[in-house]
Amino acid sequence: MNRLSLLLVVITITSCHKASNSTPAIAPGNVVINAVVSTDSSGNVNFTASASDAVSYDFDFGNGIIQTIPSGITTYKYTASGAYTVNVIAKSASGLSSSANIQITVAVKLNLVWSDEFNTPGSPDPTKWTYDLGAGGWGNNELEYYTSRIDNAVVSNGTLKIIAKKENYSGSNYTSARLLTKGLYSFKYGRIDVSAKLPASTGTWPAIWMLGNNISTAGWPACGEIDIMEQNGNNKNIIYGTLHYPAQVNQYGDGTTTSITNAATTFHKYSAIWLPATIQLLVDDVVYYTLPNKSSLPFNQNFFIILNVAMGGTLGGTIDPAFTTNQMEIDYVRVYQ
């Protein structure tokens, strides 16, 4: 056998040997997820995922949190009650994947850490509320002058009334009030519920919202803004829920709207569930918007609470020429953690 023939035989044998030992790419099969929800209201859920030919599992816990769990076995603690769709992606050594999901319902006990039930008649509790005062449009072309008078903010019959009036006052044609907990109370993460009945008059712009404690140093929008509820001035059944931060500075920011047919005649519960992973906005316990939270956003510091009724402005719009007075009525403000 000459030297060239011998080389061809060696190449042929080597090539056949490699082909016989190649590993086919196989996707995981029979993905199964089991979940055991704790009954002690701790929020703990024990998950077990399994699949044939899987070497790792990615868990999407249905709240914006995703974790890689090589063993497929983990205990995850939810911080808010709710129904969650948990999706698991099983991955094989060859990089292929298969998935399955499971529905769970979690009950988490939250503690009431701050509230005002507005049971003491007269001016709002000065240990809980202070005021923004004055006019100037407040950056939104508003037309009211905010006062601390009992004419514009009063507690009676178990509710707080923030009252907008048509009157000449210090150069403005309207008065109202803007109450805030700045310097008195702030919090980071938790749930806030506000039960409110909104004004019916065209041109009124009520809001339930929060600002970051560092607004005096960082300014807006770097401090962050969480608008739990803003009512459209010319469509009184449209409610806005909005998050503002440096990348979202326009009027509608990062959020959406929802419709309530009786916002001005019935108390509704306006809420935010604020977590390290997400911020959810709710009306009557129904989530209508979710923002994924992350460390680059300003929503990981203490925020204070604001309640106000503006007149006109960018969301209030044209004021009814026949307007004389109207109010936002608040039954309670409650913060849970």
Supply the residues annotated as catalytic: 225, 230
Peptide bond preceding 221: is omega within 30 degrees of 0, i.e. cis?
A: yes
CB burial readout 42-81, b (16+ within 10 A) else e: ebbbebbbbbebbebbbbbbbbbeeeebeebeeebebbbb
Using DSSP, how many helices (H) and how many strands (E) does the chain show? 3, 24
Specify whether the CB–CB gap between 35 and 45 falls below 8 A. yes
Specify whether the CB–CB gap between 230 and 239 falls below 8 A. yes
> Which residue from 163, 210, 147, 203 is spatially nearest to 329, judged by alpha carbons?
163
Separation CA 337–CA 335 (nearest Å): 7
Task: Please list the residues that pair with 111 across neighbouring strands.
Answer: none
Q: Is 19 helix (H, G, I), strand (E, B) or coil?
A: helix
